[in-house]
Amino acid sequence: MSGIGIPQPRVDGPLKVGGGATYAADVKIPNLAFGVLLCSTIVKGRIATIDTSLASAQPGVLDIITYQNCPPFQKPSKPISSQGQSLVPLQGADISYYGEHVGVVVAESFEAACAAADLVKIDYSPANVPSQFAMAKFAKAAGGARDTTWGDFAGALAKAPVKVDQQYTTPYLHHNPIELPATTASWDGDILTLHDSTQWLAGVRTLVAALLGMPPVNIQVLSPFVGGSFGAKRVTWPHVYLAAVAARLVRRPVRLVVTRAQMYTTLGYRPQTVQKITLGAQRDGTLQAFRHIAATTTSEFDNFIEPASAKTGMMYACPNGTFSRTLAKVDLGTPTTMRAPGESPGFFALECAMDELAYAVTVDPLKLRLLNYADVDPTTNSPWSSKSLKECYAKGAAQFDWSKRKASPGSMRDGPLLIGMGMASAAYPANRSPAAASVTLFADGHAVVQSATHEMGGGTYTAMAVIAADELGLDIGQVQVQLGDSNLAAASVSGGSRTVNSVGPAVEAAAIQVIDKLVTLAIADPESPLYQAEASQVFAAGGSLRLKNKPSSADPIQKILARHNLPSMQMTASTAPNAAASKYSQYAFGAHFAEVRVDPKFGEVRVSRYVGAFAAGQMINPLTARSQLVGGIVGGIGMALLEESVVDPNIGTFISRNLADYRLPVHADVPAIEIILVPEQDTVTSPLGTKGVGELGIVGAAAAIANAVFHATGKRIRDLPITPEKLLSLDASHPRAIQRRQHVRK
């Protein structure tokens, strides 16, 4: 029996529950020293003086590394912005943003390092120029960068009898994984070992090798478990190679853990976006013109783009459209990827605009989306590799009882509470990258799967065990999976929901090659009951090779290996996307249905019911797939109602830098979330039929909640998060608004 598609408990669950899972800051290494980062406290300027004398004299201090004694880093032959922030710290006195690393204190203990760090005296010469934090450049630059058009947008918009033209904004957001970013670095001669919390082993190895001027083969990166990331650990941040430098200078292993507060200033974030959506439609709601302009912030030294408008044009059938992206430079560190980068803020704007169009033409929001259903990708006219979005709409609406929704805003109540129902579509690219994996089958009947990919909590260990067990004809308990080691078969970054879609086919291919080799041995062996059988008629099941037309005729795998004096059989396979797949538009799809209850007196919003229906190809393990989708929706609840990183222009940095001040959804904020997995196969995207679900759940979730809030209150909030003060301040006649005005006048 195939284990694919059957819910499986995590094979790494006992390790995590029992405390046996080893993270980057857990590694036990003899003679370990501890590093603490020093970070700038000005936005822009220069270091005038550094006095480390008092700190250096403290007990246990081994070294204090600043730009005055840090070895120069090499200049990579290729730009590093795709692998890490291009600004390399400790190479001069200039300061470019608040929180930039200006030193590392290394001591015998973490406590000693912290105490010494407090005694380092740094004086700055702040730049005599105003800092930039606003999106003011948007008005000048919008529409002029990264434009894509199809049809005649301007002409179609001019003729459209119904128009929606609105601006939507999303704030700065931070990832907040439970595991803080950490690196434990150790040298053995010229060999560097990095225990690092990363979702890109190869990226760490490549960038650190380039900066330190050493062969990548001399660096081993280990990351068997990652305690959450959401994109924060995708690139190689400066603390990683600073730990390596510190370990080299003090000639002992060094552990460097980024603090929670430092994470907010030096480890990337989701940038602010300002988006303008323009829709032109017939009076029945049929789209004729679509425009999406998005501006996002980036640092002064990197051009990181949050591609909020890049994927929205494919969602609905529209003959004329244009979308563009532009950047506004601000004096912060470089942003980075955050769960569904681009799609998450982009679909908030798109799906809210579609909701506004539905009310403008008095058409049910779900019917409007079906009316504009895209049978091909409108931006390219490419066919879909597969698309089951209509089934998602139908099953989600039925489970949610969408038909019981009253059309008029503010028309549904439960006592004093206003009830609102909203929905939104979801889509995320079915990404796939080249990857390799090795599978070894041992004579005692167990197998080992190896690949340099990552387990960030999504269930990679379990998925790879299921895929290998399925092809090898073993029970999942007989398969051991080894991940998180850069010396294993190469794999890509675990980002863009691509891990199972990329590494899974490589595991499958390697397992098939192992079985093919065993079949060749068996059918050529007179002692085998499969002797002279056709290879195509042999399959693996129950730890044996069997004949399809006579399954009882079996040759145990252990006996085949024993007869040929083979302790094991190992094969390594590399796979890559099929060139023919480029002819198709490849996405996973879904539909969100949210119910909210709003207290009209206080503006408090609670999500009371939630149904999500998703079609994302073959589910290797529905249990962990559901968890990933639920996690994405929880992130969407936070995005819609709670999360916001505010920049104080007076000090030039984020004022919320801990889990007490940065509001995240807790249990009381999250209702029971129902997930519907719509069956789907997509062998164009992957031979396993998979697509990926890591980011799909958050796409559109914030919009569904925002649309539900409008349905409940009749008040459209276009600037996230939706807070009580925004809901109450919209109504000038509201008693609490009057009270506030009276208080201000007094």
Buried b (16+ CB within 10 A) or exposed e, 75-100: ebeeebbebbbbbbbbeebebbbbbb
What is the Cα gyration radius of the chain?
A: 28
Q: Is the Cα dihedral 604, 605, 606, 608 positive or negative?
A: positive
Cβ contact 518:544 at 8 Å? no
Which of 455, 508, 643, 695 is labelled catalytic?
Answer: 695
- Residues 326, 331, 336, 338, Cα dihedral to 10°: -90
| Spatial distance between the Cα atoms of 736 and 739, rounded to a whole number of angstroms | 5
Tokens of 619: 């589910």
**Residue ranges with strand state E in 215-272:** 219-222, 254-257
Is-catalytic flag, 108? no
Tell me the sheet residues that pair with 438: 450, 572
How far apart CA 378 and CA 312 sit, in angstroms, is: 10
User: From CA 397, how far away is CA 84, in angstroms rounded?
Assistant: 43
CA distance 722 to 703: 11
Tokens of 55: 């700190």
Around Cβ 403, how many Cβ atoms within 10 Å?
9
- Amino acid identity of 533? A
Nearest in space to 131 (alpha carbons), one of 650, 644, 645? 650
List of E strands, 66-190: 94-95, 101-107, 121-126, 148-150, 162-170, 182-188
* β-bridge mates for residue 163, sequence order: 280
DSSP code for 573: E
Nearest to 170 by CA among 712, 538, 698: 698
The structure tokens listed for 31 are 């003679």
Closest CA to 97 of 333, 261, 258, 334: 333
Catalytic residue numbers read: 695
